[in-house]
A and B are shown apart, each in its own frame.
Chain A
């Protein structure tokens, strides 16, 4: 996987977020402040534009640029959280020209770790981690990671939120999918899709 692969991954993810923005916002209106879709759409569109303008030359540089762009454009908590995921993963990849599956797994595991620390959350708290951690565990098989992320997102429906705004709702947060886990599933679906096309 080279820089081109990583750019395709994130531009594919940007299109998926664009397509599903209304669904993400609907999920967020049930248990959050109804801005996840529009925030992620704005952030990922800015990522796609930045990757187009700068064409970073290594996988690490692609992720660093994407992460920085998300922190500065999203406006909600998903900005620093996704920004931290991608930047930390980008740093872990260093300046390698190409990345193998195992290196991707280690980099995203480092990113997921940083997200957990930043948000003070763990698996089962009904956050993006419920999709992210199973997906990372299923790597380097990209199709398996996409499936694990989707199942992880589905599993948040039954959970009670313990982090973020949704946690104020207590038991009323049950019965709704966590929007962050839904956008994380889109990210991993895009990864598997790009690998399929390669």
Chain B
């Protein structure tokens, strides 16, 4: 039997620790069923305040990395900019880490469901991004 393929990891970067953790729990709950892809929350600053922590993001990405790439979703301003700046630096995030352009909550659910189904990083990013096309009115 072939070895199970590694899952794409998901990292959720929010200005708030609680938001990141709650969205991770929501996505895990809705993805349900079989084996889940790794999902890690990196919310707030290192001391628990509102903001973005490069250290928390780097740690979460390392924990989520199973060798198949890491999809990062970020909520606002400095969360997005910090991930972009870390990616531009080149050595602060695992190889194969990608910032995904997606709505935070809906994108996280789509990304985790897709990653848990064994899809590759490009498919996970696409599924998360497609959450933008679902109109609510």
List chain A positions with a Cβ less than 8 A from chain B: 35, 39, 68, 71-72, 75-81, 83-84, 87, 114, 118-119, 164-165
Given A72-B53, A75-B45, A80-B82, 4 extra CB contacts under 8 A: A77-B81, A79-B85, A118-B81, A119-B81
Assembly CA distance A75 to B46 (angstroms):
9
Shortest CB–CB separation between residue B37 and chain A, in angstroms? Answer: 27
Q: Is B21 an interface residue (CB 8 A)?
A: no
Which residue in chain B gives the minimum CB-CB distance to A78? B78
Nearest-CB distance from A13 to chain B (Å)? 19
A39 and B47 CA atoms in complex are apart in Å by 13
Contact of A118 among B51, B55, B84 (CB under 8 A): B84
- B114 in the interface, Cβ–Cβ < 8 Å? no
Q: Mark B49-87, 1 if CB is under 8 A from A, else 0.
A: 101111100000000000000000000011001101110
Q: Encode B85-99 as 1/0 by CB contact (under 8 A) with A.
A: 110110000000000
Question: CA–CA, A114 to B88, complex, Å?
Answer: 10
State the Cβ distance, B47 to closest chain A Cβ, in Å: 9
Q: How far does the alpha carbon of A75 sit from the alpha carbon of B52 in the complex, in Å? A: 5
- Residue contact B51 to A76, C-beta cutoff 8 Å: yes
User: Could you list 14 examples of A-B contacts with CB < 8 Å?
Assistant: A35-B51, A39-B51, A68-B89, A75-B51, A75-B52, A75-B78, A76-B52, A76-B77, A77-B78, A79-B54, A80-B81, A80-B84, A83-B85, A114-B88
